RNA sequence: CGGGGUGUAGCGUAGCCCGGUUAUCGCGCCACGUUUGGGACGUGGAGGCCGCAGGUUCGAAUCCUGCCACCCCGACCA
């Protein structure tokens, strides 16, 4: 492990890449654009999964699993969806390899083994799922269908970055079917709320809920709800989306049902997802120049104990004390690891646990044995204090809650300070270049203005906030009348 | 896919222009000893088809050709 991380001020993107690798979260693999998620990174992802899965089930959803492959004829059925993803699809054309007669010891694709119909590796699963739902739905009594799947998908991206954009990524995708438009809309909004609640309460990442403009909308959706977060470098990151799909997929896959008036109608749909990209959001929201900073809710170990000793006798005394602390913490539902490795000295352990973002560190040495104390260090503030043993477990449990809240508030302050109201295009460009962050500005509602602004500034409309107040104004670019402000930013 | 760049040990590198014995240095790794309240020190050691293939040459990490991979900047994107 090399000593120092590149600082954020020096090169934010280099800092991010180094942090992901050095904190042992993930690394690049032999497959272009695909990452290996290492045990420590995967443990954090599992924490996210567990909480999201709980929330999905609490809102009435069940898990299921659909195939990795989508026959091309199904994939192309919903035209807009197909068109939107066509440029980044991996395609299976053959099903067999054979020894290469011209190249000893090598394999080649058997030209005789061409598939009748190509299979698309799913970039998203609407097609295969809606084709399946057709067989499940005849009557309004079969509705709603509320299903989620945990899966991997492939989008053949040109340029990839660990967690933020990989060719293969892990995610969950919910796909629901409803009898009425109103019910589907409620579902799409509900799941966006679930995502917002998860991001804020669990990941300590403040988000803005909104809807996408037409050009940023999911291919095939009527409305795309989203949660947008702001990273420390002032760039926005779309952290989750929930789509109201209208009857587009029902029509494309001919999914009709008889309603309670005996009339035939197409089914209404939603889909919603978050991915391993949330790992990127987590890193870029809280971490610092010493490494990862994990909110207690997401830390694989919330507390780590580092022993400091000169001989076996001291180590035994420390171990006894540590085991007592671990037991008390476990009773309160706090996870704690005892780092008793003899192969590393305390300083190296301190540095490693800081790099990996363990929220609280306890150091116990001979002095602490003597005084009935421990040294308690906070990862988020990098402060440490000597604490008496009495009531330690409760002190720690409370402190973890404080840390969780403070991380959220810190991120919220940063975010709120980086929403700038702007009314003219010159200021727009200046704020984007110098201050960065979200810009709240009037927009005339046309794709043309949106496109022009993107070309000129690289900023896109991240969302039209849901809680927007209506306000008369003129478009920051065209000067045409506008009824509300929207949020612009450069985005990941 | 366009424009630029880089490939030397696990990682970071020197050497390349101007070909010449055993390919440089640091980190990391291994062994032993001394250490342990913020990334220890000493001694010894292991590790290389110099991206791949071909060519020029008495001789190639170095020169030439082709290929591959990766990085940066664009276009695309959760």
Q: The domain spanning residue A375 has which CATH number? A: 3.40.50.800
- Quote the domain boundaries for residue A461: 419-489
A144 lies in a domain? yes
A144 near A255, Cβ under 8 Å? no
Whether the CB of A276 is less than 7 Å away from nucleic strand B comes out as yes
A85 lies in a domain? no
Task: Tell me the average pLDDT across A54-58.
Answer: 98
Q: Are residues A325 and A219 in the same domain?
A: no
Place of tokens 């800081």: A354
A1 lies in a domain? no
For strand B, list residues 209-228 of chain A whose Cβ lies within 7 Å of it: 216, 218
**CA A2 to C1' B65, whole Å:** 40
Give the pLDDT confidence score for residue A2 in this predicted structure.
46
A167 lies in a domain? yes
Give the pLDDT confidence score for residue A412 in this predicted structure.
97
Task: Tell me the average pLDDT across A112-117.
Answer: 92
For strand B, list residues 139-178 of chain A whose Cβ lies within 7 Å of it: 155, 157-160, 164-167, 169
A407 lies in a domain? no
CA A169 to CA A220: how far, in whole Å?
21
Per-residue pLDDT tens over the stretch A7-26? 888 888 888 888 888 899 98
Task: Tell me the average pLDDT across A222-245.
Answer: 95
Per-residue pLDDT tens over the stretch A130-139? 999 999 999 9
Per-residue pLDDT tens over the stretch A434-450? 899 999 999 999 999 99
Strand arrangement of the beta sheet that strand A69-71 belongs to? A69-71, A114-121, A91-94
Q: Are residues A276 and A316 in the same domain?
A: no
Sign of CA dihedral A130, A134, A135, A139: positive
Q: Are residues A279 and A322 in the same domain?
A: no
In this model, does residue A267 exceed pLDDT 70? yes
CA A351 to CA A287: how far, in whole Å?
14
Task: Tell me the average pLDDT across A147-160.
Answer: 90
In this model, does residue A363 exceed pLDDT 90? yes
A337 lies in a domain? yes
The Cα-based distances of A75 to A66, A81, A94, A119 in angstroms read: 14, 8, 18, 9
Q: Which of A49-63, A313-327, A424-438 has the lowest mean pLDDT?
A: A424-438
Task: Tell me the average pLDDT across A136-159.
Answer: 94
Task: Tell me the average pLDDT across A192-203.
Answer: 98
Place of tokens 């809920």: A209
A143 lies in a domain? yes
Average pLDDT, chain A: 93
Q: Are residues A216 and A167 in the same domain?
A: yes
For strand B, list residues 347-376 of chain A whose Cβ lies within 7 Å of it: 347-348, 350-352, 354-355, 363-369, 375
For nucleotide B77, give the residue with the nearest CA to its C1'. Answer: A157
Number of separate domains in chain A: 3
Sign of CA dihedral A348, A354, A359, A365: positive
Q: Are residues A65 and A173 in the same domain?
A: yes
Q: Tell me, what DSSP letter sits at residue A478?
A: T
Q: Are residues A261 and A178 in the same domain?
A: yes
Among A401, A436, A466, the domain boundary falls at A401
**CA A290 to C1' B13, whole Å:** 25
Among A286, A319, A339, the domain boundary falls at A286
Among A286, A313, A338, the domain boundary falls at A286
Q: Are residues A186 and A238 in the same domain?
A: yes
**CA A375 to C1' B42, whole Å:** 32
In this model, does residue A428 exceed pLDDT 90? yes
In this model, does residue A45 exceed pLDDT 90? yes
Query: What DSSP string runs through A102-127?
Result: TSTT-EEE-TT-EEEEEEEEPSSSHH
Dihedral (Cα; A407, A286, A27, A362), 10-degree rounding: -50
Whether the CB of A324 is less than 7 Å away from nucleic strand B comes out as no
Residue A110 banded pLDDT, cuts 50, 70, 90: confident
Task: Tell me the average pLDDT across A394-417.
Answer: 98
A274 lies in a domain? yes
Q: Are residues A391 and A425 in the same domain?
A: no
Q: Are residues A218 and A165 in the same domain?
A: yes
What CATH number is associated with residue A229? 3.30.930.10
Residue A3 banded pLDDT, cuts 50, 70, 90: low
What CATH number is associated with residue A452? 3.30.110.30
* Count of other CB atoms within 10 angstroms of residue A162: 23
Give the pLDDT confidence score for residue A211 in this predicted structure.
96
Q: Are residues A197 and A143 in the same domain?
A: yes
Q: Are residues A357 and A248 in the same domain?
A: no
Give the pLDDT confidence score for residue A1 in this predicted structure.
41
The Cα-based distances of A476 to A307, A422, A429, A480, A490 in angstroms read: 60, 8, 11, 8, 16
Give the pLDDT confidence score for residue A105 in this predicted structure.
66
Give the pLDDT confidence score for residue A131 in this predicted structure.
97
For residues A454-463, one letter each, b for 16 or more C-beta atoms within 10 angstroms of the residue's C-beta and e for the rest, the string is eeebebbbbb
**CA A351 to C1' B42, whole Å:** 24
ipTM of the complex model = 0.85
**CA A177 to C1' B55, whole Å:** 66
Task: Tell me the average pLDDT across A190-201.
Answer: 98
Place of tokens 């476990």: A330
Whether the CB of A73 is less than 7 Å away from nucleic strand B comes out as no
Q: Are residues A241 and A330 in the same domain?
A: no
The token pair at A433 is 């270049």
């Amino acid at each position: 492990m090399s000593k120092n991380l590149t600082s954020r001020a020096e090169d934010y993107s280099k800092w991010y890449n180094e942090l992901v690798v050095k904190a042992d979260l993930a690394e690049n693999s032999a497959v272009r654009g695909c990452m290996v998620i290492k045990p420590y990174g995967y443990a954090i992802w599992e924490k996210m999964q567990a909480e999201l899965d709980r929330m999905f089930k609490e809102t009435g959803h069940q898990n299921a699993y659909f195939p990795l492959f989508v026959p091309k004829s199904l994939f192309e059925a919903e035209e807009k969806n197909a068109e939107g993803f066509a440029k980044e699809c991996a395609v299976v054309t053959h099903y067999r390899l054979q020894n290469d007669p011209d190249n000893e010891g090598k394999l080649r694709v058997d030209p005789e083994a061409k598939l009748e119909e190509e299979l698309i590796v799913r970039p998203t699963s609407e097609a295969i799922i809606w084709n399946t739902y057709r067989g499940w739905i005849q009557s309004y009594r079969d509705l709603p269908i509320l299903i989620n799947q945990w899966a991997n998908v492939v989008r053949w991206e040109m340029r990839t970055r660990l967690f933020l954009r990989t060719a293969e990524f892990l995610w969950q995708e919910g796909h629901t079917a409803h009898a009425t438009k109103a019910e589907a809309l409620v579902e799409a909004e509900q799941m966006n709320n679930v995502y917002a609640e998860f991001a804020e309460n669990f990941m300590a990442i403040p988000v803005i809920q909104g809807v996408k403009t037409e050009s940023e909308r999911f291919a095939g959706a009527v409305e795309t709800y989203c949660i947008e977060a702001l990273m420390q470098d002032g760039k926005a990151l779309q952290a989750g989306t929930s789509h109201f799909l209208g009857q587009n997929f029902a029509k494309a896959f001919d999914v009709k049902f008889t309603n309670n008036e005996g009339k035939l109608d197409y089914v209404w749909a939603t889909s919603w997802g978050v991915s391993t990209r949330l790992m990127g959001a987590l890193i870029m929201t809280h971490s610092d120049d010493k490494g990862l900073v994990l909110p207690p809710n997401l830390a694989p170990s919330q507390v780590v104990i580092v022993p400091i000793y000169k001989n076996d006798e001291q180590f035994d005394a420390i171990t006894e004390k540590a085991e007592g602390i671990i037991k008390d913490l476990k009773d309160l539902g706090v996870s704690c690891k005892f780092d008793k490795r003899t192969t590393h000295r305390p300083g190296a352990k301190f540095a490693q646990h800081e790099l990996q973002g363990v929220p609280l560190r306890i150091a116990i040495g001979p002095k602490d044995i003597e005084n009935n104390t421990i040294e308690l260090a906070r990862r988020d503030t990098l402060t440490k204090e000597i604490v008496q043993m009495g009531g330690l477990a409760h002190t720690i449990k409370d402190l973890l809650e404080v840390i969780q809240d403070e991380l959220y508030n810190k991120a919220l302050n940063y975010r709120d300070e980086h929403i700038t109201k702007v009314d003219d295009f010159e200021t727009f460009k200046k704020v984007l270049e110098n201050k960065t962050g979200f810009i709240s500005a009037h927009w005339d509602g046309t794709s043309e203005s949106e496109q022009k602004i993107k070309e000129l500034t690289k900023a896109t409309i991240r969302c039209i906030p849901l809680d927007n107040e209506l306000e008369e104004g003129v478009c920051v670019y065209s000067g045409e009348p506008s009824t509300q402000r929207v949020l612009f930013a450069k985005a990941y």
